Structure 1
Amino acid sequence: MRIALVITSLGVAGAERLVVDLADRFASLGHAVLLVHLTGTAEVVPRHPDVTVLGMGMNRSPLSLLIALRSVRRSLKAFRPDLVNSHLVHASLFARLLRLTLPMPRLVSSAHNMNEGGGRMRMWAYRLTDWLVDISTNVSDEAVAAFVAQGAVKPGRMVTMHNGIDVAKFHFLPKARVQERRALGCTDRKLLLAVGRLHALKDYPNLIRAFAQVKGQVPGVVLAIAGEGPLRAELEALVRSLGLVDDVRFLGVRHDVPELMSACDVFVLSSESEGFGLVVAEAMACGRVVVATDCGGVREVVGDAGLLVPPRDPEQLAAAILHALALRPAVTAVMAQQARQRIERLYSLDTAAKKWLALYQSPSLPSA
């Protein structure tokens, strides 16, 4: 099968890492894969040598859009895909425009959140162009329901396709635990970890305020935050105002996430909104105790293998973190095993790739 994947960018984020992992897995199964990213430089790239990656360098200008449409059209005509799968809102709208001038055997449009980071106009654009796709997907049942409720798609025109975790990559690494904890200066201290862009939807102020409460009862605890984004200065100011400068580590973009996850004692997700919660699944695959806000598809991921609290409630988040830190080692070991087994059973990359290929090859996709 010849598969073309089109995504807005290849930055260090959950959707981008998933698409790169899927591209690798499809290629390893013998499929021809073309991966097109519209903007920026590729920060995450496929490892399989047979995946062709094309960057368009597109910006916000109408001329840049026209040039990119022409270039991708030419590339797809040469590649002759059996299916095009677009990911994230800008790439999905781009692929729909492209289909007006380029015949595509099949076009699948994939969202990765409750509203793809936009408001009514973005949902209206989805609905207006829905007739141009064969089927849309989203990463959780709750995200699908949100798109239907917002009028972006009609019922039955969007299906759930859960994210997949490369369990061969994300697993507990004992040596890395020792090394990373030494590097972070917390060899004999409890370590909390959060991973994700420093963006409003991740609600890091919620985490930092909860951590201030935890710090009052567990003096030696450290919080590490891996990720970069527009709110870094604001978050650093909040840390200073709460007197936590010596206890919070902003790590920036990291490419050793499995190692960091192995190092932590508790992984924390503080988001106010998530589509799936990919980092939660990755932490579970690494055998970590997870404390997460109950938003989007996170409940579907965690099940009974972690602790869930309401979003935007630092008091309850702090209480859950304190509970997790106080667990006896034997209980922690059982939770770690249950978490790993849940991801292997339900959300492994192999499972996800098989489901995607079954969707791609389905004799009859739902129609408008």
Structure 2
Amino acid sequence: MIALTSLCAEGTPVLVLEMCRWWLAHNIQPMVVTLNAEPTDLVSEFQQLGIQIHSLNISNYGYRRYGQIILKFYRICHQFQPDALLSMPLGWHTFIAYGARLAGVRRIAAHAGNYPPYWTGTAFQKFRFLIQLGRPVTDILICCSDYVRQGVIKYLGVPESETVTIYNGCPLEQFYQSNSPLQFPSNHVLNIGMVARLEKHKDQPTLIRTAHILKERGMLFKVQLIGEGSRRGEYETLIQQEQVEDCVYLLGMRRDIPKLLSEMDIFIFSAKPDEGLGVALIEAMATGVPIVATAVGACQEVLDQGNLGLLVKPHDSQALANGIIEILSNPKSAKSRAELAQKKVFREFTIENMAKSYASCLGLGV
């Protein structure tokens, strides 16, 4: 049984969908339980695989929701008797786990996809309390990078023995691999893109401000921001304020990411320190597009301290603009880094590696 917040067609739910494909091909039958009924972007794709989906419609308000989660997961686990449970939400996984354990589920794991936000004061203390509360009923926290794992151990007080690192995987067969040399003729309209949820742990505003700088320098370009989220209205306002409506576009949620990546000249991954490991970053690496990313822990780890993509100072639009110009000025170096990044993805970030490792943690034979 896999617990998800919802079936939006981005990030973690897409990752789970790809893992389920591999599991089904190796005689592991998953089922999905969502806390929220909407959005339903991926419902049809899960159903096409023959995967049962159950939505619990958990209330978003008050402490009552915690009791609802325990009771509803107890009931559904008692009904279906899963061999193991994987919770993708972290924090709320505590109540999911108590319900599952009361129903007799033997093996329970939770996914840690972001660095612990220790700088958020009271909110973090509550989060840390939930993690500690869940330890007696959670066998393992699966961290998506060593960076996240180190943070979980240091700031959440979880022993190393209760954690493991499993990198997110990428369905490599879906991505167009570029082997052509980088060419930027003087009249070329540079296609710059970023794929990420429009949420607070990403940093699209810095890229929007970077567009203003590039425009002032007279460059020909367009910036495509791919993804949906709660901050869309805020970003629309910022685009107007920076006067870049003619070159920055919010494309919303898309399911043709491989095609969009293959058309990009430069991929930007502007993230904040709590970034765990962006699936979109791995997808861009698989495509072979040159990358400029912010020098936060997860990006440094994945991009081998800058050997696989340019790393620039976080939350610095001037530094990001300089990184883009660096690629234009040194296309051979950019291509070399992109090729090395591609090789790393095929070696370390496959869906097979991820699915096998998750199955092992959950005690499921493959």
- TM-score under structure 2 normalisation? 0.87
Report the number of matched residues: 347
Match of 2:318 in 1: 315
What is the rounded CA distance, in whole Å, between the counterparts of 1:265 and 1:298 in structure 2?
19
How far the C-alpha of 1:311 sits from its partner, in A, is 1.1
Q: Measure, in 1, the Cα distance between the counterparts of 2:200 and 2:69.
A: 30
String of CA shifts for 1:145-187, please: whole Å, max 9, x gaps. Answer: 112222342332221111111111233489xxxxxxxxxxxx9
Between 12-21 and 58-67, report the one with greater CA deviation: 58-67
- C-alpha contact (below 8 Å) 1:32/1:50 kept by paired residues: no
Contact 1:13/1:197 (<8 A) preserved: yes
Q: What's 1:22 paired with? A: 19
- Deviation (angstroms), 1:320: 0.7
> Is the CA contact 1:173–1:259 (under 8 Å) kept in the aligned structure 2?
no
**CA apart distance, 1:333:** 4.2
The corresponding residue for 1:184 is none
Report how far residue 79 of structure 1 moved.
Answer: 2.6
Once the two structures are TM-superposed, the CA of residue 309 in structure 1 deviates from its matched residue by 1.4
1:346 maps to a residue whose letter is E
User: Counterpart of 2:3 in structure 1: which amino acid?
Assistant: V
Which residue does 1:154 correspond to in 2? 159
CA distance in 1, matches of 2:126, 2:93: 15
Structure 2: how far apart are the matches of 1:216 and 1:68? 52
**Gaps in structure 2 of 5+ consecutive residues:** 180-186
* Whole-angstrom CA distance in 1 between matches of 2:270 and 2:361: 33
Indicate the residue corresponding to 1:179 in structure 2: none
Look up the SS of the partner of 1:10 in the other structure.
coil
* CA distance, structure 2, for counterparts of residue 241 and residue 279 of structure 1: 27
Per-residue deviation at 1:248? 0.7
Distance 1:94 1:137 in 2: 17
Match of 1:141 in 2: 146
2:191 is the counterpart of 1:191: yes
Q: CA deviation at 1:20?
A: 1.8
Q: 1:239: which partner in 2?
A: 239
Match of 1:50 in 2: 50
Deviation at 1:220, TM superposition (A): 0.8
- TM-fit CA distance, 1:228: 2.0
In structure 2, what is the equivalent of residue 356 of structure 1? 358
What is residue 6 of structure 1 aligned with on the other side?
3
Q: What aligned pairs does 1:117-128 form with structure 2 within 5 A after superposition?
A: 119-128=124-133
Q: CA offset at residue 64 of structure 1?
A: 5.8
Q: CA deviation at 1:67?
A: 5.2
* Separation in structure 1 between the aligned mates of residue 298 and residue 258 of structure 2, nearest angstrom: 22
The structural deviation recorded for 1:68 is 5.2
Shift in Å, 1:359: 2.2
AA aligned opposite 2:18: D
3-state SS of paired residue (1:223): strand
Q: What residue number does 1:249 align with?
A: 249
**Residue 182 of structure 2: aligned partner:** none
Matched, 1:340 2:355: no
* Residues 305 and 106 of structure 1, relative CA distance in 2, 3 Å threshold: same
Instruction: Answer whether contact 1:84 1:108 (CA < 8 A) is retained.
Output: yes
Matching of residues 1-368 of structure 1 within 5 Å: 4-41=1-38, 42-45=40-43, 46-47=45-46, 49-61=49-61, 66=67, 69-99=70-100, 101-115=102-116, 119-172=124-177, 188-273=188-273, 274-303=275-304, 304-328=307-331, 330-361=332-363
C-alpha separation in 2, matches of 1:204 and 1:141: 25
Identity value in percent: 25
Partners of 1:112 and 1:139 within 8 A in 2 = yes
Deviations 1:296-332 (A, max 9, x none): 322222222211112112221111111123333x555
Deviation at 1:57, TM superposition (A): 1.9
C-alpha contact 2:72 2:99 (8 A) present in aligned 1: no
Give, in whole Å, the separation in 2 of the partners of 1:90 and 1:126.
6
Deviations 1:52-91 (A, max 9, x none): 2222222225666555544433332333222111112255
CA distance in 1, matches of 2:80, 2:92: 18
Cα distance between partner residues in 2 of 1:80 and 1:100: 11
Contact 1:27 1:50 in 2 (8 A): no
CA change 1:49–1:362 in 2 (3 A) is: closer
What are structure 1's unaligned runs of at least 5 residues? 175-186, 364-368
Secondary structure of 1:120 counterpart: helix
Question: Conserved in 2, the CA contact under 8 Å of 1:38 and 1:91?
Answer: no
